[in-house]
Every structure is written in C-alpha cells, then in structure tokens.
Structure 1
Amino acid sequence: MSSHEKSTASDAEEPSALERRSADLVTRLLKVGIDGLGPFDSAAKVAKAARADHPSTESAVHAVVRQHTKLVAGNGFVTGLGGLFTLPVSLPANVFGFHVLAVRAVAAIAELRGYDTTKPEVRSAVLLTLVGADATDVLKSAGLPTGGRLVGLVTSRVPRPVLMLVNKGVGFRLIAKFGTQGLLRLPQRALPVVGGAVGAGLDTVMFRRITKNAEKALPPLTGGAAQAVEGSA
C-alpha cells in the first residue's frame, strides 16, 4: 500500500469533528446528568430523596418533575438576563445545562419506576427521550425495533456497539438542535432581562414535553418486564 493510500485509509478511520463533538456531548450528559458531579446529585440520589418524602411512586415522580421544572426555568432565566452581549457564552451554557437537568429528571423517573440507570440500555433509553419523535429514526438507524415503548430496549440485551450507535444518533440530533435553538431564541433573548423571561418560558415548555414523553415511554416495571430487566443485568 502506497503512503497516499495509507493516509487515505487513516483519514477514513479518523472520526469527524462532528462525531467527536457528539461523543463528547453524550459522555458529559450521561456522566453529569445520571452519575452526578460534585454538588450536583446523581439521578439515583434524587430518586431516593423523592421516594423518602412521598408515599407513592407516582407522587415521587411528579415531585421530581416539579423540582426540575423550577431548576430549568431558573437556568433559562439567569442565562438570558444579560441579553445580546452575553449570548455567545450564555446560550451554549443554557442549552447544555437544560439537557443535563432533563437527563437527570428522566433518569430519576426511571429509577423510581424500577429501572437501573447503571445499565447501558437504560442510559441509552434516557438519552432517547431527549429527541422526542426522532427516537424512532435513531433506533431504526441502529437496526433496532422502532415500535412500542422504550421499555422494549431496556428489557433486551443489546450489544454495546449497537448502543453506541444509538447514543451517537442522539448526540448528532442534539447538536443539530442546539444550532436551531440558538437561531430561534436569538431575537427574543437579545434584550436584557426580557431575554431571561423568554428563556425561562421556552425551557419550561420544552422540559415538560420531554418529561411527559419519558413518563409514557418508561412505564413502571412490573411482572415479566421487571424479571426481564433483572435477567439481562
């Protein structure tokens, strides 16, 4: 093989900048959003605290959603206060912070309903709730069944390379959405203070959409489904 052919083959194997960004984003969302970092509690710890304070699983789920709705609104408000001059810094911080909170909320809901968020399949399912209807396309691209709820994914033994494809697909879509959100929010968030109120409102609507999707896609594990999860561990 000539040096030119070797160089071409090496370039083909080298991940693109978009792939590296996607992988880094997914890694950070899972690490911070599910496992926690420093004072930012893990999803399992959030779920445990909610369970201790509420008599039923569903009341604990609702408490987690309420808690994180306030955090999301606060994040959107604070990062929008500075207006146009702070947007280059505040908007990326807002978008990342939003998705970290969304991941933790969904993962806490999953924990409360009997899922083990240390399992790769469950972690991928949590990520899929972030992209809404695009989850079907992500699953299809990875060669997985697209019908039914995400519970089908978490009760199966999915090869790690396939889960990596799922996570990569979510990462690609989130990065694309980051850009779209930035363009859509720019006019409304250009004004100081007003931008904060707009950011809080938009983030709250988006967050509730994600959690409603998660509550439907990840129902409480009972009977055979719970046994399947235990068997696949």
Structure 2
Amino acid sequence: MTSPMAPASTGMVVINKVISIGIDGIGPLSSAREIAEESLAHHGEVEKAIDRLIATHMRLVGATGFATGVGGAFTMPVTIPADITLLYAYAARCSAGIAHLRGYDVTSEEVRSAVLLSLLGSAGSAVLADIGINVANKTAMAALNKLPGTILIEINKKVGYRLFTKFGTKGAINLVKWIPLAGGGVGSAVNVATMRSIGRYSKSTFTPVSSPSAGLV
C-alpha cells in the first residue's frame, strides 16, 4: 500500500494541477487566455469582460456538479477533496483570465505565482512575508516582478501547502475523475463567495499594465 504523501508534497501536486488545468486548460476546458478572449469578444470592453468572467466562474463553482470524463487530467491519487482542487482550478483560470485581459503574460512564472497567491486573497501577503518580501503598498504582482525562479518556486510551494492544510486530509479520492461538487464537503454558497473574493482580489492585483503600480512582465 502506498503511504500518503506529506502535506507539502501533496500541496505541490494540487498547485501543479491548478496551473495545468486552470491556467493552461485541458481537454474540453478552455485555457485562461481562451476564455478571456471569448469574454472580450462578446462584451467588447475589458472591464465588462472581466466582470462577466468573474460572474461566469461564480456560476460554474456554484453549480451542483462538474463535468466528468476529462480522462488523463487526473491520473495521480491524492488525498484531498476533489471539489477543492476543481474550485481552485476554476479560480486560477478566472484570475489568470483577468491578468490576460489587463495585459499580462500568463505564461510568465511571475504572473503564475501571482495567480496562485490570489487564491489565498489577503493571506497571500503572509506567504511573501515568510520569505522576506514586504508587499507594503505594492501589489503582489509588483512584488514578484524579477524575482529569481527559485524564489517563485518556493512561493508556489507555500501556497500549495497552505491550501492543503486549510482543508486537511479528510476524504481520500482519486483525481482520475471530476467528482461531482454535490458529493464534496464544500457547499455552493461557500464556493460562490470564495470565487467572488478571489475575483475582486485579482482585479486589485493585476492592475492595467499602463498603471504605475503594475508589475512589468
């Protein structure tokens, strides 16, 4: 029998899944850039597209279940609630979509780390403080700009650890399927509130690139 992975290791598995599924897209799930461009094409204005992107993702995570059948998207057994992974994959897609619409390169490691920090909301500043980065009056994106890759990896690890420990190890599942949200431990209202909060935080983090407070990418 395989022994359970340590929280830090499991947290990184979650983060890698969130990035690969939520930001890059997989199978029928559009990437952050694709869905952002679709929203912009439909609404015509960046800020309207952003607001609708948030609203769309709030509806998605508030639904009674997620689609099944993404095959190889989840091939590694992980001891975490599946609905949490999916919630944050959608949240990362929304956050990265906002970043893209505001002019950021979502393939950039700095931007990806900022997206992950957005999943923690204001608590993300504590992660940065843990490694000696004082955000002060800067956005998380500006604080991450030009940091070495090794530091960004460490930030990602800390985000993954916090997400994992926040929800604990209860409920062993196999991420080979999208488990219906109705069977998870997180209610629809909580998911919607979480997505709304992450959307607002992402809007403040990814200020337009022309803004003085924006991080250059």
Partner residue of 2:141? 151
Deviating above 4 A after TM superposition, structure 1's stretches of 4 or more consecutive aligned residues are 223-226
Please tell me the residue identity of whatever aligns with 1:153.
A
CA 1:20–1:46 in 2, change beyond 3 Å: closer, same or farther?
same
Partner residue of 1:134? 123
Displacement after TM superposition at 1:78 (Å)? 2.8
Displacement after TM superposition at 1:225 (Å)? 6.0
**Greater alpha carbon shift after TM alignment, 198-207 vs 53-62:** 198-207
CA 1:195–1:28 in 2, change beyond 3 Å: closer, same or farther?
closer
1:153 aligns to what SS in structure 2? Answer: helix
Partner residue of 1:114? 103
Aligned residues: 190
Partner residue of 2:86? 97
The separation in 2 between residues aligned to 1:52 and 1:133, in whole angstroms, is 31
1:221 aligns to what SS in structure 2? Answer: coil
Displacement after TM superposition at 1:18 (Å)? 2.3
Displacement after TM superposition at 1:145 (Å)? 2.4
Which structure's relative contact order is higher, taking Cα pairs within 8 Å and 6+ residues apart? Answer: 2
RMSD over equivalenced CA pairs, Å: 2.6
TM-score if structure 1 supplies the norm length? 0.74
Larger Rg, first or second structure (1 or 2): 1
CA 1:26–1:224 in 2, change beyond 3 Å: closer, same or farther?
same
Partner residue of 1:200? 188
Please tell me the residue identity of whatever aligns with 2:86.
G
Displacement after TM superposition at 1:106 (Å)? 0.5
Task: Show structure 1 runs of 5+ residues with no match.
Answer: 1-15, 80-88, 184-193
Higher helix share: 1
1:133 aligns to what SS in structure 2? Answer: helix
User: Does 2:198 correspond to 1:210?
Assistant: yes
Q: State the identity as a percent.
A: 34
User: Does 2:38 correspond to 1:49?
Assistant: yes
CA 1:199–1:108 in 2, change beyond 3 Å: closer, same or farther?
same
Partner residue of 1:222? 210
- Counting only pairs closer than 5 Å after superposition, residues 1-20 of structure 1 correspond to structure 2 as 17-20=6-9
The separation in 1 between residues aligned to 2:199 and 2:54, in whole angstroms, is 7
The separation in 1 between residues aligned to 2:149 and 2:132, in whole angstroms, is 13
The separation in 2 between residues aligned to 1:224 and 1:207, in whole angstroms, is 27
Partner residue of 1:25? 14
The separation in 1 between residues aligned to 2:126 and 2:213, in whole angstroms, is 24
CA 1:117–1:175 in 2, change beyond 3 Å: closer, same or farther?
same
TM-score if structure 2 supplies the norm length? 0.79
Please tell me the residue identity of whatever aligns with 1:205.
A
Displacement after TM superposition at 1:108 (Å)? 0.2
Please tell me the residue identity of whatever aligns with 1:152.
A
The separation in 1 between residues aligned to 2:110 and 2:162, in whole angstroms, is 19
Displacement after TM superposition at 1:179 (Å)? 2.2
Partner residue of 1:188? none
CA 1:224–1:165 in 2, change beyond 3 Å: closer, same or farther?
same
Select 2:165's aligned residue among 165, 168, 176. 176
